[in-house]
Amino acid sequence: MTTDDDLGRLLAAVAQGDRSALRAVYEWQSVRLFGVANAILRDRDVAADAVQDAFVKVSRRAAQFDPSRGSAAAWLAGIVRHAALDIIRARGRETPTDDPNLGDEAVAPEAEARLAATVEGQRLRDCLAALEPKNREGIILAFVHGLSHPQVAARLDLPLGTVKSWIRRGLLALRECLA
């Protein structure tokens, strides 16, 4: 399986209660989705929990996937992202400082590296590079680092509406570039 259409068909089967389809989605997408969760949470064990929570939600909500609104891979990534953010909200946000004296260290998960090495990862990097810097920075802060729109606005010292507009325009440009 290599296409988003195949993934969409699997999700349709999951919506009908097909557990083997859910297993196939997990086997196909779990490494990529773990990379998403780990990039947000920066904790491999907690990221694994987020992916598990997300797949429970996928099994219950597969019927909500609508291919006319976006790709199946993006829909799955959104569920994982929300699961990771729910964990952050539940435990409070901890920000690693990369200061080895404090015990913090940057994590470069091998799952993220494998995604970056794929054709899709390269396309995403190319599309991100083509965005205006302000749009790219907002998207990375929100979707990679897991910051909320108000947190991005505070980090960039900009009005919330401006940040939301920049992120939205950037996402629209990414969607067009990746289509």
pLDDT in tens, 115-138: 556 667 778 888 888 999 899 889
Q: Are residues 16 and 60 in the same domain?
A: yes
- Read off the CATH number of the domain in which 14 is found: 1.10.1740.10
Query: Containing domain of residue 154, as a range?
Result: 118-179
Q: At a CB cut-off of 8 Å and minimum separation 6, what does 3 contact?
A: none
Longest alpha-carbon distance in the chain: 52
Spatial distance between the Cα atoms of 18 and 82, rounded to a whole number of angstroms: 24
Q: Are residues 138 and 60 in the same domain?
A: no
**How much is the pLDDT for 98?**
54
Q: At a CB cut-off of 8 Å and minimum separation 6, what does 170 contact?
A: 131, 132, 135, 136, 138, 139
What is the 8-class DSSP label of residue 144? I
Give every residue of the chain whose pLDDT is below 70, as ranges: 1-2, 92-119
Whether this prediction's pTM lies above 0.85 is answered by no
